[in-house]
Amino acid sequence: MKSNNLSKKQRKMSGQGAAQKGDWCELMAAAYFRKNNYLVFTRRSGPIDLVLVHQETGETRYIDVKYKNTRQGTKSHGARINRTVTSHLKNFIKIEIIYVGDDGQPEQPYPFGIKQWHQEFKIERNKLGHYNGKVVAR
């Protein structure tokens, strides 16, 4: 069986090291937030990777860190993979997703919803009509 046009062997090969990559992303995000005056508490288990408390304001944030990845070798031709919080905890507390790319820099998704985003941004599309992530106008 193939998923995203990858064989089982290809999926297994691409998944090796995923846990290490996830741990590295969490470390990069934690370092970024420490530099920005947050106390950082790491998780023991569960969907929340980092709990942040701002040292001056006392603001508390719950963070789920994800690797910023694109779909390579699939039909979508390099489109960015967007992830959502799937835990039932999202009904009780706000869990933010932070993406960390290969450059180690954390990036937050747009927080105001898809309708507002489409009003504020115009994004270039590739020849197949997929968004390629390049901002044309703001």
Indicate the domain borders of the chain.
8-107, 110-138
List the one residue out of 78, 111, 63 whose CA is nearest residue 4.
Answer: 78
Each residue's pLDDT expressed in tens, for the chain with a length of 138 residues: 455 566 777 666 666 667 788 888 899 999 999 999 999 999 877 788 999 999 999 999 999 888 887 656 555 555 555 666 767 777 788 888 888 888 888 887 766 666 777 777 777 778 887 777 677 766
pLDDT value at residue 33: 95
Phi, psi of 114 (to 5 degrees): -65, -35
pLDDT value at residue 43: 80
The CATH class given to the 8-107 domain equals alpha beta
- CA pair distance 37, 55, nearest whole angstrom: 6
pLDDT value at residue 38: 96
